[in-house]
C-alpha cells in the first residue's frame, strides 16, 4: 500500500527578496520559526497583511526562504473573502493570475500577479518515486479516509532528490475530507 | 450514466416555530423569498445572527418552513470562525451536537444542541431511485468533474416520494472540487 502523510496548507505567502525589503525594511532577513516538511523550507516568524478588493487577512504567514517571485497561496474560501478569483495552479505558475496588495511594518507592495490556489500535489523523493513507479508530473488518484472519505483525482506527482514524501492539500480540501496534517492518504493508481 | 445536479449548501438555519417567535416576535411567519430544489422548501427573506464563543455570522439565511427542532448547518471552515466543533451528521440527527446563540430583531435564543455539518447526500424521488436500483440510506460513490476532480465516497442516498433529484454538498466540498450549484455529478456505483 502506497501511503503518504498529508500536510494541510493554510493560506501563506512566499516573498521575493525585493518584497521582503519593501515590506520589512532594507536588508531585512526573514526569521525562521519552524521547519516545514520539505528540507530547507521554513515558516517565518513574520506575517504580512493581504488586502483584496473585498476583504483582508491581517496575518498571513510568510514561508521562507525568499523566492524569485512573490506568490500568495489561498483557498477558494479565502478568495471569496478577499474578492479575487485566483486560478488553481502549480506553485510557480503564476502567469495571468490576479494581483493583490501586501502590507508590512515598513511599507506596502502591490503585486500585479501571484495569487493562486495551489493544485494538490505529492512531493516524492526520487528514490521513493522510483520504488513506486511514479514519474514527475504524473497525475494520481489518492484515497483519503477521514471523517468524510473521498478520492482526490488529478493529484500531481512532484519528484526531486530534495523532496520529502508529503501530500499537500489546502484547507478546503482538508475540511471536505475531514482530515488534518499527519493523517495518511493512499495512492490508488496512476491515471496517465 | 447516472447524472445528478449539484446543489451547494451555504451555511443556513432551520428554526422551530417557537424559535421563530422568540427571534422575530409573537405570531411571526417567515416570508418565502425563493423556492429550493426540494418541493415545499424555501429560502426565507429573514436571516438571524449566529454567535459562537469565538466569532459570529451576522446574516445566516433561514430556510423554511419551520421544523420541529432548530438546526444550524455550517461548514467545517465556518466552525473554526464560530469556535464550535460540530459533528458531520444527517439532517435531523442532532443529539449531542453543540449548541449556539441566535439573535433576531425581537430577541435572543440559546440552543443547547443543533449545530451540525451536514453529511453529503443525494435526494432521490422514489421512482428515480427504483429505476437506478438505489435504496434509501445506501452509500454511494459520486464523481465530480470540476476544476479539481474528485470522487466523494459515503454519499448517503435519501429516497422519498416528495424528493427531487439533487446532490447536496457544503461550501468546503464545493470549493475542494471546484464546482457550483447546477454542475453535474455522476453516481459511479453503490458501496453497500
Per-residue pLDDT tens digits for B101-157: 999 999 999 999 999 999 999 999 999 999 999 999 999 999 999 999 999 999 999
**pLDDT at residue A192 tops 90:** no
Q: Please list the ranges in chain B whose pLDDT falls under 70.
A: 190-192
For the CA atoms of chain A, what is the radius of gyration? Answer: 17
User: Three-state secondary structure along chain B?
Assistant: CEEEEEEEECCEEEEEHHHHHHHHCCCCCCCEEEECCCCCCEEEEEEEEEECCCCEEEEEEEEEEEECCCEEECCHHHHHHHCCCCCEECCCCCCCCCCEEEEECCEEEEECCCEEEECCEEEEEHHHHHHHCCCCCCEEEEEECCCCCEEEEEEEEEEECCCCCEEEEEHHHHHHHCCCCCCEEEEEEECC
* Number of C-beta neighbours around residue B102 at 10 A: 23
Pick from A118, A176, A189 the residue to mutate for testing the B interface (most B CBs within 10 Å).
Answer: A176
- Dihedral sign for Cα atoms in the order B184, B186, B191, B192: positive
* ipTM of the complex as predicted: 0.91
What DSSP designation does A31 have?
P
User: Nearest-CA distance from A75 to chain B in Å?
Assistant: 8
* pLDDT value of residue B30: 96
How many beta-carbon pairs below 8 A join chains A and B? 60
- CB of A85 within 8 Å of a chain B CB? The answer is no
Contact list in B for residue A170 (CB cut-off 8 A) is 176
- Would you state the pLDDT for residue A189? 76
What is the number of other CB atoms lying within 10 angstroms of the CB of residue B152? 25
Distance from CA of A87 to the nearest CA of B (A): 9
Three-class DSSP category at A175 = helix
Given CB atoms, is B152 within the 8 Å cutoff of chain A? yes
Task: Name the residue in chain B with its Cα closest to that of A77.
Answer: B175
B183 contacts chain A (CB < 8 A): no
Kindly determine whether residue A176 and residue B178, on different chains, have CB atoms separated by under 8 Å.
no
pTM over 0.90, yes/no: yes
CA atoms of B37 and B40, how far apart (whole Å)? 9
Task: Give the pLDDT confidence of A21-40 residue by residue, as tens digits.
Answer: 999 999 999 999 999 989 99
Cα A128 from Cα A140, distance rounded (Å): 15
Yes or no, beta carbons of B178 and A150 under 8 Å apart? no
The reported pLDDT for the residue numbered B192 is 43
Q: pLDDT digit string (tens) for B110-120?
A: 999 999 999 99
Q: Does A156 touch chain B (CB under 8 A)?
A: no
User: How much is the pLDDT for A186?
Assistant: 97
Task: With CB atoms and an 8 Å threshold, state whether A148 touches B175.
Answer: no
**What whole-number distance in Å separates Cα of residue A107 and Cα of residue A125?**
39
pLDDT over 90 (residue A191):
no
> Which residue among A143, A170, A176 sits closest to B173, beta carbon to beta carbon?
A176
C-alpha cell at A128: 521513493
pLDDT, tens digit, 9 for 90 and up, residues A58-97:
999 999 999 999 999 999 999 999 999 999 999 999 999 9
pLDDT at res. A29: 95
Q: Tell me if chain B has a CB within 8 Å of the CB of A151.
A: yes
Cβ neighbours of residue A155 closer than 8 Å, sequence gap 6 or more: A120, A121, A122, A139, A140, A141, A142, A167
C-alpha cell at B95: 443529539
Chain B residues near residue A75 by CB distance under 8 angstroms: 175
Q: What is the pLDDT of residue A190?
A: 60
Q: Tell me the pLDDT tens digit for each residue of A151-183.
A: 999 999 999 999 999 999 999 999 999 999 999
Do residues B45 and B56 lie in contact, with contact meaning Cβ atoms separated by under 8 Å? no
Amino acid at each position: 500500500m502506497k501511503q503518504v502523510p498529508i500536510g494541510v496548507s493554510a493560506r501563506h505567502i512566499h516573498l521575493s527578496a525585493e518584497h521582503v525589503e519593501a515590506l520589512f525594511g532594507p536588508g531585512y532577513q526573514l526569521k525562521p520559526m519552524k521547519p516545514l516538511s520539505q528540507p530547507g523550507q521554513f515558516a517565518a516568524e513574520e506575517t504580512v497583511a493581504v488586502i483584496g478588493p473585498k476583504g483582508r487577512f491581517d496575518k498571513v504567514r510568510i514561508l521562507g526562504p525568499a523566492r524569485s517571485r512573490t506568490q500568495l497561496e489561498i483557498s477558494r474560501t479565502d478568495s471569496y473573502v478577499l474578492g479575487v478569483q485566483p486560478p488553481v495552479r502549480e506553485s510557480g505558475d503564476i502567469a495571468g493570475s490576479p494581483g493583490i496588495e501586501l502590507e508590512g511594518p515598513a511599507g506596502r507592495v502591490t503585486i500585479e500577479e501571484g495569487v493562486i490556489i495551489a493544485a494538490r500535489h505529492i512531493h516524492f523523493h526520487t528514490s521513493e518515486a522510483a520504488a513506486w513507479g511514479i514519474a514527475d508530473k504524473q497525475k494520481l488518484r489518492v484515497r483519503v479516509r477521514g471523517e468524510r472519505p473521498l478520492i482526490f483525482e488529478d493529484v500531481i506527482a512532484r519528484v526531486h532528490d530534495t523532496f520529502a514524501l508529503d501530500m499537500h492539500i489546502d484547507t478546503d480540501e482538508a475540511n471536505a475530507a475531514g482530515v488534518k496534517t499527519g493523517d495518511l492518504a493512499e495512492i490508488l493508481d496512476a491515471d496517465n
